[in-house]
Amino acid sequence: MTQELVREDAPRTYTHREIMEILSGLLLALLTSMISTSVVGTALPTIVGELGGQEQLSWVASATLLTMTVSTPLWGKLSDIFGRKLMFQVALGLFVAASMVAGLSQNIGMLIAARAVQGLGTGGLSALVQVILGDVVQPRERGRYSGYVGAVFGVSTVAGPLIGGFIVDTDWLGWRWCFYVCVPLAVAASVVIQKVLRLRHVKRDVRLDVWGATTITGGATALMLLLSLGGHEFGWGSPWAYGLGALSVVLFGLAVDAERRASEPILPPRLFRSRTFVLASTASLLVGISLFGVMIYLPQFLQIVKGLSPALSGVMTLPMVLSLFLASIISGRVVTRTGRWKIFPIAGMILVAAGLWLLSLLKADSGYVVIGVDIAVLGAGLGMSMQMLILAAQNAAEGRDMAVSTSGVAFFRSLGGAVGVAAFGAILTNRVKDEMAAMLGAAHVKATSVALGTPEAIHHLPAAARRIVIQAFASAMSTVFLLGVPAAVLGLVAVVFLREVPLRSSRQAALQVSTGPAQSIRS
């Protein structure tokens, strides 16, 4: 169908003060949405232990990543059609409503549904922050401001568990406030955005790619359901697994055909002819596997294996918060000064691989200083790589493709996160079961006497059973972290083959719009 496009364009130069005012609202919204995604990381063992058992943890975590992933490429195109500001506010509204419902959840199904809607809003906010930043900041200067975005993204992702831990440990709050706490921040972000976000618009007629949106979303959904539920809700060799796998292949095939035919495709095929876009997207997918996989399952190691409270397990993430923040800010400023960026994602992926390998060496008796150093190494690597990959894709994109290339790279990072959570969850569950079965048999302990509930419940098991559970989780977590190393190495290979194009000092090329009559207005 034909819709009237209200597309923000930014032909004028924004002052540093104007950019910082806009950025303040964007970062507040991003901080809010990303904290909501990660704040439950520390609380999840308690939440699912109360509502549905530890075996549901992977699915509760995957629900948000699933919808965030499948919706990310749509937000960039919708913002081209209906306007950046409107779509940003819609995403924020979805997020607030879903957060309230999640906090009111009475059962695991209600919580999963609310988390899924939360993911829709989070996908819009995380994608549109980068798109709007690309509208108002010239490429050479974008590294400077992207450093702030990367810092907020990383810090909120890692600091969320710290906040969640204190909330869960506070008797008069409880885990439901993990969802309520973000609502006031989101309202504040909405007020700031309404006041400061003033972008120039261009009206033109475009065709909404409904069939492309349907097939891309459907294919990604089928794939995520397969990865999230396979090996747990149904076997990998079951009709359900084959059916979802075939459905995803068919829908992605139809999506390729749809995008070739569409006049305004969601993910234009020409993007995949860009070496930079393909490699940056590949590396982002692999970074997502490392980031989300570690952040969802590290709290289990700290709470179950090390016996820390939710609050203290959150405190243990502070080294990662600090290293990620510093690495992101410093690398962004260096890129702005020099215009050269490739060294940072290369160094970052090396550090990510090293950090995962170090985490795989952790044992039940590993010291807290060792754990802190290991996650600090991982945080520094993530801080150097995440935002630089988006910056590289933006710098190589034509003006008409800036929004879709940005949301495309973000889509693959979210896809990697969903794959990481699902794959690591399946590996962890199977390894824990195998390890426990072997050790229980050797110790002549009945398996029915060992029930996996909350971390607190696990630590109240009889001594023999508790020791077996802790050892099983420690061994399984070592396997999970170790399997993340090859993903990081492949990401390093992708980054090495990126062609370094010096960042432009002018936004003129990036702001070219497609041919056709246009009328500028202000909003």
For every residue of 50-98, which 3-state class applies, written as one string?
HHCCHHHHHHHHHHHHHHHHHHHHHHHHHHHHHCHHHHHHHHHHHHHHH
pLDDT at 208: 66
Instruction: Judge whether 240 lies within some domain.
Output: yes
pLDDT at 66: 73
- φ, ψ dihedrals at 181, nearest 5°: -60, -25
Instruction: Judge whether 349 lies within some domain.
Output: yes
- What distance in Å separates the CA atoms of residue 408 and residue 123, rounded to the nearest whole number? 11
pLDDT at 228: 66
3-state secondary structure of 200: strand
Classify burial at 39, counting beta carbons within 10 Å of its beta carbon; exposed 0-12, middle 13-18, buried 19 or more. Answer: buried
Here the tokens at position 516 are 């056709």
DSSP state of 243: H
Number of helices (H) and strands (E) in the chain: give both, helices first.
18, 3
Assess whether 21 and 139 both reside in one domain. yes
Instruction: Judge whether 483 lies within some domain.
Output: yes
Tell me if 183 sits within 8 A of 35, measured CB to CB: no
Domain count of the fold of the chain? 2
Q: Among residues 235, 262, 289, which one ends one of the domains?
A: 262
Assess whether 149 and 274 both reside in one domain. yes
- Cα dihedral sign for 286, 29, 401, 134? negative
Residue 1: count other Cβ atoms within 10 Å of its Cβ.
5
Q: Distances in Å between the alpha carbon of 286 and those of 427, 489, 498?
A: 17, 9, 15
- φ, ψ dihedrals at 2, nearest 5°: -95, 130
Q: Distances in Å between the alpha carbon of 448 and those of 142, 295, 437, 465?
A: 57, 30, 11, 11
Give me the amino acid identity at 123.
G
- What distance in Å separates the CA atoms of residue 382 and residue 151, rounded to the nearest whole number? 10
Residues in contact with 441: Cβ distance below 8 Å, sequence separation at least 6, in sequence order: none
Assess whether 193 and 311 both reside in one domain. yes
Assess whether 425 and 403 both reside in one domain. yes
Q: Among residues 227, 246, 262, which one ends one of the domains?
A: 262
Residues in contact with 434: Cβ distance below 8 Å, sequence separation at least 6, in sequence order: none
Instruction: Judge whether 15 lies within some domain.
Output: yes
Instruction: Judge whether 514 lies within some domain.
Output: no
- Please name every residue paired with 77 in a beta bridge, in sequence order, or none if there are none: none
Assess whether 282 and 250 both reside in one domain. no
- φ, ψ dihedrals at 133, nearest 5°: -60, -40
Assess whether 252 and 394 both reside in one domain. no
Radius of gyration of the chain measured on its C-alpha atoms: 22
Apex 506 CA angle, 502 and 507, nearest 5: 105
pLDDT at 256: 85
Q: From its phi and psi, is residue 422 left (phi > 0), alpha (psi between -120 and 50) or beta?
A: alpha
pTM over 0.75? The answer is no
Assess whether 144 and 222 both reside in one domain. no
Instruction: Report the residue count for the chain.
Output: 523
Residues in contact with 173: Cβ distance below 8 Å, sequence separation at least 6, in sequence order: 167
Sheet with 519-522, side-by-side order of all strands: 2-9, 200-207, 519-522
Identify the residue whose tokens are 């997207």.
281
pLDDT (tens, 9 = 90+) of the chain, 523 residues, equals 434 333 444 445 667 777 777 777 788 877 777 777 667 766 776 776 677 655 555 667 667 777 777 777 778 778 777 778 888 889 888 988 988 888 887 777 788 888 888 888 888 887 788 778 777 776 666 666 766 776 676 667 666 767 777 777 777 777 788 888 878 888 888 887 777 777 655 544 456 677 877 888 788 778 777 876 776 677 778 888 899 889 989 998 998 888 888 777 777 788 888 888 899 989 988 888 877 777 777 877 888 888 887 667 777 878 887 888 888 888 888 887 887 888 999 999 999 999 999 998 988 888 889 999 998 999 899 888 887 888 888 777 776 677 777 777 877 887 787 777 777 777 887 788 777 777 777 766 655 444 555 666 676 777 777 788 888 888 888 888 888 899 899 999 999 998 887 665 544 444 443 333 333 333 3
- What distance in Å separates the CA atoms of residue 294 and residue 85, rounded to the nearest whole number? 33
Q: What's the domain range around 283? A: 2-209+263-500
Q: Among residues 234, 262, 290, which one ends one of the domains?
A: 262
Assess whether 117 and 237 both reside in one domain. no
Assess whether 240 and 283 both reside in one domain. no
DSSP string, 175-189: TTHHHHTHHHHHHHH
Assess whether 273 and 239 both reside in one domain. no
- What distance in Å separates the CA atoms of residue 516 and residue 9, rounded to the nearest whole number? 15
Assess whether 459 and 341 both reside in one domain. yes
Identify the residue whose tokens are 């495309």.
408
Residue 485: count other Cβ atoms within 10 Å of its Cβ.
19
Exposure on the CB side of residue 131, measured as CA atoms within 13 A: 36
Instruction: Judge whether 318 lies within some domain.
Output: yes
Assess whether 222 and 201 both reside in one domain. no
- What distance in Å separates the CA atoms of residue 141 and residue 355, rounded to the nearest whole number? 30
Instruction: Judge whether 94 lies within some domain.
Output: yes
Q: From its phi and psi, is residue 230 left (phi > 0), alpha (psi between -120 and 50) or beta?
A: beta
Find the CATH number of the domain harbouring 400: 1.20.1250.20
Instruction: Judge whether 416 lies within some domain.
Output: yes
Classify burial at 382, counting beta carbons within 10 Å of its beta carbon; exposed 0-12, middle 13-18, buried 19 or more. Answer: buried
